[in-house]
């Protein structure tokens, strides 16, 4: 079952029954009830007053200027009678226990469980979005849980999760909910894991960074025209800035790059991408090349051939990147983590299942080479 199939299964559960008993969490009647409608309206500090009684949302680089009753392109932030509000606070539409490898993190607490949450909404409009039927709709058009931050923490603890993942969509859409949850998670000893496109204002992102333990960053391209044409992002500068700041702040970072036939799969594009990563971020940043499947507005394109992904892998390794993975090709040798010094497998995987681990306190058991990651809570 791939990620999209799993999400559809969860969505079906949300539509007709509780997901939380499915997770083995049955001690809260309130949180087990899914509802439809605007459940999480809350004032947001990420607005400024503009001319003629309008408000400008400052959470993402688009800075939508809104008259009363209008929403931003994300569909979840609104000028409500002169007050800027978020419409997704404490009402995730997706709540599920995942192996941390699904997020995906290959260098964070291998084989551990994480509680993943997501809401409706996204500031981007990617034509190849895997979760468009959740991220690119209005919050009142999807079933959701009433689950404020303390409830999220309690569910994570009840499920014996070691982390909370803000993923499967764009967490910038529920920034206030995520930040408050992350603060409580840090106090509770849970890791905060983020999977993001990075399309968020640098000021907001820097407020969140101190609470993050690991980030999987969706870097769709380093070509600004790709973001403009296929993602609806006029300027990708803030994305690259946010990625650099994460690395400078010593947050553990992994990168996911989806390889799309005819759009960004040519060798020159891949070479520019991996060279940028090596030069700007370092050779030890784990890179996941993700396979594209025909979805949303790009159903006319074929799935990414395995040979194209294998070529991307070779390009990245030749450029000097030390930890390169191919996603969504279960059973491929590139799912394993190899020591860059001795070449031995230090973590073996089949899909999201972890096999043998040859690490001792983050070091290769064969040659003592340090392997970057979050190996301890």
Asked whether residue 175 is domain-assigned, the answer is yes
Is 319 inside a domain boundary? yes
Interval 88-128: pLDDT, tens = 999 999 999 999 999 999 999 999 999 999 999 999 999 99
Q: How far apart are CA 335 and CA 88, in angstroms?
A: 35
Q: Name the strand (E) or helix (H) holding 65.
A: strand 65-66
Any idea what the CATH number is for the domain that residue 110 is in? 3.20.20.70
pLDDT, average across residues 349-369: 97
If one counts the domains in the chain, the total is 1
In this structure, are residues 44 and 171 in contact, taking their beta carbons and an 8 Å threshold? no
- Exposed e or buried b per residue across 98-120, where buried means at least 16 C-beta atoms within 10 angstroms of its C-beta: bbbbbbbbbbbbbebbbbbbbbb
In a domain, 128, yes or no: yes
Residue 365 lies in a domain: no
In a domain, 202, yes or no: yes
Asked whether 352 and 329 are in contact (CB, 8 A), the reply is no
Arithmetic mean of pLDDT over the chain? 92
Q: Does residue 140 lie within any of the structural domains?
A: yes
pLDDT of 374 > 60? The answer is yes
Within a domain: 161: yes
The whole domain housing 138 covers 3-33+90-336
Residue with tokens 């005819």: 262
| Polymer length in residues for the chain | 377
* pTM, to two decimals: 0.92
pLDDT score, position 32 = 54
Domain membership of residue 81 (yes or no) is no
Within 10 Å of residue 377's Cβ, how many Cβ atoms?
11
Q: What angle do CA 119, 75, 136 make, to 5 degrees?
A: 60
């Amino acid at each position: 079952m791939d990620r999209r199939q799993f999400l559809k299964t969860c969505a079906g559960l949300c539509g007709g029954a509780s997901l939380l008993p499915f997770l083995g969490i049955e001690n809260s009647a309130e949180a087990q009830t899914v509802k439809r409608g605007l459940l999480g309206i809350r004032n947001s500090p990420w607005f400024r007053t503009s001319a003629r009684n309008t408000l400008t949302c400052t959470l993402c680089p688009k800075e939508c200027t809104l008259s009363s009753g209008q929403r931003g392109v994300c569909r979840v932030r609104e000028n409500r009678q002169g007050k800027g509000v978020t419409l997704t606070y404490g009402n995730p539409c997706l709540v599920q226990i995942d192996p941390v490898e699904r997020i995906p993190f290959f260098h964070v607490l291998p084989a551990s469980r994480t509680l993943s949450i997501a809401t409706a909404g996204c500031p981007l409009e990617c034509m190849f979005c895997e979760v468009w039927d959740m991220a690119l709709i209005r919050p009142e058009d999807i079933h959701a849980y009433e689950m404020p931050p303390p409830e999220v923490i309690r569910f994570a603890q009840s499920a014996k999760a070691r982390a909370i993942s803000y993923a499967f969509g764009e967490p910038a859409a529920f920034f206030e909910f995520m930040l408050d949850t992350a603060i409580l998670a840090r106090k509770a000893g849970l890791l905060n894991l983020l999977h993001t496109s990075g399309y968020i204002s640098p000021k907001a992102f820097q407020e969140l960074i101190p609470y993050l333990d690991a980030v999987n960053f969706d870097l769709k391209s380093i070509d600004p025209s790709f973001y403009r044409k296929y993602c609806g992002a006029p300027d990708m500068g803030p994305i690259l800035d946010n990625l650099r700041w994460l690395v400078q702040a010593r947050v553990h970072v992994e990168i996911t790059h989806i390889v799309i036939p005819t759009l960004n799969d040519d060798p020159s594009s891949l070479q520019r991408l991996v060279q940028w990563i090596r030069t700007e971020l370092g050779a030890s940043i784990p890179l996941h090349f993700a396979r594209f499947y025909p979805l949303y507005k790009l159903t006319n394109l074929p799935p990414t051939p395995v040979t194209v992904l294998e070529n991307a892998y070779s390009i990245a390794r030749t450029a000097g990147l030390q930890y390169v993975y191919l996603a969504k090709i279960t059973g491929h040798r590139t799912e394993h983590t190899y020591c860059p010094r001795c070449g031995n497998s230090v973590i073996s995987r089949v899909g999201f299942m972890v096999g043998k681990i040859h690490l001792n306190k983050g070091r290769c058991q064969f040659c003592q080479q340090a392997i970057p990651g979050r190996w301890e809570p």
